[in-house]
Chain A
Amino acid sequence: MGAFFTRLLGCCAALLLALTATSGKVEAEPAKGEPLLIGVHYDAAKQASYYSLGQKSVFDVFVDQLNANGGIHGRPVKLLYEDDELNPVVATTKVEKLAGENVLMIISISGSATGLAAQKKGEELKIPVGSPGNFLEPLTTVPPKHEYFRFAMRDSVGAKALIKYFRAHFKDPKIAVVRDATETGLLLSDSYIKLLKDAGFTIVATEQITPGSTDVTAQAMHVKESKADLVMLAGASVPDMANYVKTHFLVGNKTPLFGNYLLSTPPFNKLAGEGANGLIYTDMLDPARPEGQKIEATLVAALGDKAKDAPFMIGAWEFMRWVANALGRAGDAPTRDSLRDALENTKDWPTALGPAGTKVTFSPDRHDLFFGGEEVVLREIANGQYGPAIKQ
C-alpha cells in the first residue's frame, strides 16, 4: 500500500510538473536531499555545438525551474555534463564515465554519430539513453534498442511527410537533390535519396556543395538544366544551403524548393534572402499551438532572443519534461531499470511537439516520438520569416 501511495505521489508530482512547465504559477518548496543524477554528453565547440549548446541551456532552465518547484518526490535533479568533442570514441568514454558516476540516464545532445556511439555503450551498460536531437536513421531499429528513446525527427519520418506532400501536389515529379559535403550532410542526403527512390521518384540531379563555398552557380545551373519539378535541399550546413537558395533565385530558377528539418534553424531564413520565400520544410513544431508559444515565452524570458524561432530548443524542453515525468513514475527511489520501464510505459502523454493533439505513446515496439510521419509539421517560409504550418 505504501508503495502504491508513493507511486501515486510521484504521478501527482509529475502532473504538477507538467502544469508548471507551461503555466509557471504553481509554487512549491524547493527540492532538497540527494540529487537524481542525469548524464548529458554534448558538443561544446564543434559543428554540432549550435544546437548542442542551445539544448544544454534549455535543460538548465528546465531543471532550475523543476528544482525550485520541488524536484521529483522532493529530490532535486542534477545534470552532469560531458563534452564529447563530437567524436564517437570520446562519447563512448564519456558515457562510461557518467555511468561510473551513477547517473540514472544518459541524454545525447551532440551529433548523430556520437549519439550512435552512446546508444551502443548504453545497451552494453544497461543504462537508458535518449535524445531530443539526433536524427540519424540507424538509431532506430525494429524492434527498438532496449535502452534507447528519442524525440528527434529521423530522416525517414521527415521524408515520409514530404513524399506524401509530393504525391498530393505533383504528378511523378523529377527531383533534384542539393547537399553539402559535410559528414552529416552526406549521410542525410544519401538517406533522402534512397527514400525518394524507394518511393518511386526519379532523381534527375544530385548536386554537392563544398562547405564554405562563396559561389554555387555551377550547382544552381545544373539543377536548372536538369528540368527537375522540385528541388530537395537535403544538406546539413545551414549557410551552404542558404547560399544555394540565393543562387537558385539568381539564376532565375522558379522550381519549388523543399527542405529538411535542419533548415528550421535560424538564421537560414535571413541568410537565404528572398529566394527562400515559398520554401517548404519539415518541422517538429506547429507555431500556432499555444503550448509551444508558452514554452518559447519561458525560454525567451530566461535565455533571450536566441530562443525565438528555435524548434530544437522547444524539443529539448519537451524531452526533459518527459524525462522528469518518467522519473516521477519510476518510484520514490528510481533505478536505471525502473526509469527505462517508465520511459517505455509512457501512454498518451500530451506534448507541444507535432500537430495539435499529438501524444507520446511508447511501447516495446516503439521508442520514437516521430514514427509514422503524421507527427511531422510542414511549414513554409514567407516574407523571409518561418511561416505557419501548411495543409499536408
Chain B
Amino acid sequence: MTAVSLAQVLIGGLQAGGIYALMGLSYYVILGATGILNFAQGEWMMLAAVFGVVLLGIGLPYPLAVTLSIAIATAVALLAERLVIRPLQARHASHGMLMLVLFAVLIVVRHLTLHAFGPAEHQLPGPLPERAIILGNGLFILPQTLVVYVAVAAVFLAVWWFMDRTWPGRSLRVAAIDPVGAQLIGIDLGRVRLIAFGLGGLIAALTGWLYGPLFAASYSIGNTLGIKGFIALIVGGVGSPLGALVGGLTLGILELGAARYASSLWSEAVSFLFLIAVLLVRPNGLVGRHGARP
C-alpha cells in the first residue's frame, strides 16, 4: 500500500462519498422533518441531469441550464408533495402507504422521462475543463472532483445554517423532534412538509450536476445513487445531517478501498459486510444517537 495509491483511493472515495452524502442529506431533510421516506429522491437527481442535457442542447448558456434544470427538478418534487402526499396525508394515510405511493411516483417519473427523452445515455459537461490535474507521482484529480468537494462542503454548511439560523429551518427541526408540540406552538406541518420536499428536491437536483459529468445522464441514473444515498444516511445515522455526511464518506472510501486493496470483484460485498458489522455494533449509525427520530 503506497502513499500515492492510498491518496488516490481517498481522492476517489471522498468524491463518490460526497455524492452519496448529498443524496443522503436529501433523504434526511424529508425523513427527519416529516417521517416520510421518499425513494423518488434519485429521480429528482436524474431529472436535473437529463434536463441539463436538453437545455444545453438547445443552446442555453451553462449557468442558465444549470439553474433552470435544478428549478424544474425541484418543482417536480414540490408537485409530488402537493398533488400526491398532501391529499393522502389529509386522509391520514400511513407512512408505509406514503412510501409506496412515492415509489409509484418514482416509476412514473422514470417512464415519462424515458418516453420523452429516450433511453440513450448522454454526456453532461461539468463547469470546468475535463483534463485531469496531475499532482505528481502518478497522482491525479479531476476538476469535477474539486467541484464535488466544494459543492458538498457548501451544501452541508448552507443546510446547517438554514436549519439552525432561519425560522423555516428551525420549524423543520422542531417538527422532527416533536410534531404534536410543533403544531401547538403554531408551526404548520403542511408547510414544513412542503419546505422539506422542496429542500430535499433541491439538494438531489444539485447532485445531478455533480454526478452527471462523472458518469452520464440518462433516465436510469437515479436508481443506484438513490439506493446508495439512503444507505449512507442509515449507516451514518438518521438523526442529523452529520449522519449523512459521515455515512456517505465512509461508504465511498470503503467501496474504493475494497476495490483497490481487496478485489474489485468483491468490493461491493466487502464494503457492505463492513457496514453490516458497523450497524451491528452501532445500530443507530456511526454518529446516530439512541432514540433519534425516526
Residues on B with C-beta less than 8 A from A222 are: 260, 264
CB proximity to B under 8 Å, residues A183-236:
206-219, 221-222
Q: B213-245, CB under 8 A of A: which get 1 and which 0? A: 011101011011100000000000000000000
Grouping DSSP codes into helix (H, G, I), strand (E, B) and loop, the B interface class, with mixed when no group exceeds half, is helix
Asked if A218 and B216 make an inter-chain contact with CB atoms under 8 angstroms apart, the answer reads: no
B9 lies within 8 A of A218 (CB) = yes
For residue A188, give the distance in angstroms from its CB to the closest CB of chain B. Answer: 15
- Which among A211, A243, A270, A273 is the interface contact of B224 at CB below 8 angstroms? A211
A1-9, A30-38, A44-52, A315-323 - interface stretch = A44-52
Q: Are B8 and A267 in contact (CB under 8 A)?
A: no
Find out whether the CB atom of A217 lies under 8 angstroms from the CB atom of B9. Answer: yes
**Which residue from chain A places its CB closest to the CB of B257 in the assembled complex?**
A218
Q: Whose C-beta in chain B lies nearest to the C-beta of A52?
A: B119
**Distance between A367 CB and nearest chain B CB, rounded to angstroms:** 29
Contact A250 B259 (CB under 8 A): no
Question: What CA separation (Å) do A331 and B68 show in the bound complex?
Answer: 59
Total residues of chain A contacting the partner, CB 8 A? 35
Is A239 an interface residue when CB atoms closer than 8 A count as contact?
yes
Give the complex CA separation of A219 and B9 in angstroms: 11
- The interface centre, meaning the residue of A49, A209, A222, A242 with most chain B CB atoms within 10 A of its CB, is A49
| 8 Å CB interface, A295-334 against B | 306
Q: Does B255 contact A (CB under 8 A)?
A: yes
User: With contacts A210-B268, A215-B15, A218-B256 known, is A50 near B215, CB below 8 A?
Assistant: no
Give the size category of B's interface with A.
35 or more
B216 touches A271 (CB 8 A): yes
Please indicate which of the listed interface residues A213, A266, A270, A306 has the most CB atoms of chain B within 10 Å of its own CB: A213
Q: A210-B268, A222-B264, A243-B215 are in contact. Are A217 and B120 (CB under 8 A)?
A: no
Q: How far is the CA of A55 from the CA of B91 in the complex (A)?
A: 46
- In the assembled complex, the Cα of A291 lies from the Cα of B9 at a distance in Å of 49
Contact of B138 among A212, A243, A251 (CB under 8 A): A251
Taking a contact as CB atoms closer than 8 A, the residue among B5, B220, B260 that contacts A47 in the complex is B220
Q: Does B153 contact A (CB under 8 A)?
A: no
Determine the distance from Cα of A221 to Cα of B218 in the docked complex, in whole angstroms. Answer: 28
List the A residue with the shortest CB-CB distance to B255: A210
Q: Check A239/B121 contact, CB under 8 A, given A210-B267, A271-B216.
A: yes
Indicate which residue in B110, B123, B138, B260 contacts A218 across the interface (CB closer than 8 Å): B260
Hey, which chain A residues are within 8 Å of B211, CB to CB?
A: 214
B122 within 8 A of A: yes
CA–CA, A218 to B121, complex, Å?
Answer: 24
CA distance A251 to B11 in the complex (A): 14
Known contacts A49-B114, A218-B256; A212 and B225 CB within 8 A of each other? yes
Bound complex: CA A219 to CA B268 (Å): 13
Q: How far is the CB of A232 from chain B (nearest CB, A)?
A: 15
- CB-contact partner of B15 in A181, A214, A239, A273, under 8 A: A214
Chain A residues positioned under 8 Å from B264 (CB to CB) = 207-209, 218-219, 222
Q: Supply 10 further A-B pairs (C-beta < 8 A) apart from A219-B259, A239-B121.
A: A49-B114, A53-B119, A208-B265, A210-B224, A212-B221, A212-B223, A222-B260, A239-B215, A250-B140, A267-B123
Sorted from nearest, which 4 A-B pairs have the closest CB atoms? A215-B12, A212-B224, A218-B259, A218-B260
